[in-house]
Amino acid sequence: MVTTNIKPIMKYVVNFFKGLLIAVVVICISFFMVTQLFHTTEREEPVVIDDRPSAEEFIGKIAETARNLGANNDLYASVMIAQAILESESGQSGLGSAPNYNLFGMKGSYQNNSVKLETSEDDGSGNLSTIMADFRKYPSYEASMQDYVKLMRNGVSWNKEYYAGVFKSNTKSYTDATKFLTGSYATDSKYNEKLNMFF
């Protein structure tokens, strides 16, 4: 008679421990999930190192060449530098960086070298459209700057004096030169305002 009473008690004890084990496992899993969800330890953000040259470093690379070319060709070195910064994103754009070195967004080819890129054109009223165009590809920043000066001094095929409005001798200040470049050198109707921000 004693044996029959132990069997239901043993069954009750085994079921109790099974339930207790399941409860402990559920509590442990829940605790783990809650700690992961509300993990309050600060996570360190990854440090992004921008190793691209700054605008100041870019200016340092081209300033002396701009000064010499400007002084020898009746041009504002400051306007040339401002255009190079704007047009090439301080030498960082796809066109302005190696292997293209086109600092001024000059279209066409240079010594039979060009690169085809997408560009935005302004119709003169501020309306932009996207086109594909061939741009000159240079061996160096200096070659790009020399070619730019050649364009300014020699004009275009149909008008040798086309850019005479940018010459120091024909202007009172750099603002006259940047205003002249708007609509003649660049289609952007706010080109002079963008250039003047660099002064």
- Whole-prediction pTM value? 0.71
Q: How far apart are CA 114 and CA 97, in angstroms?
A: 14
Domains of the chain listed by start with CATH number: 55-196 (1.10.530.10)
Q: How far apart are CA 115 and CA 54, in angstroms?
A: 25
* CB under 8 A, 24+ apart: contacts of 123-131: 123/187, 124/183, 124/187, 124/189, 125/189, 126/189, 126/190
The terminus-to-terminus CA distance of the chain in angstroms comes to 107
The tens place of each residue's pLDDT in the chain, 199 residues long, gives 455 577 777 777 777 777 777 878 888 787 777 777 766 555 666 766 666 668 899 999 999 999 999 999 999 999 999 999 999 999 999 999 999 999 999 999 999 999 999 888 777 777 888 889 999 999 999 999 999 999 999 999 999 999 999 999 999 999 999 999 998 998 888 999 999 998 8
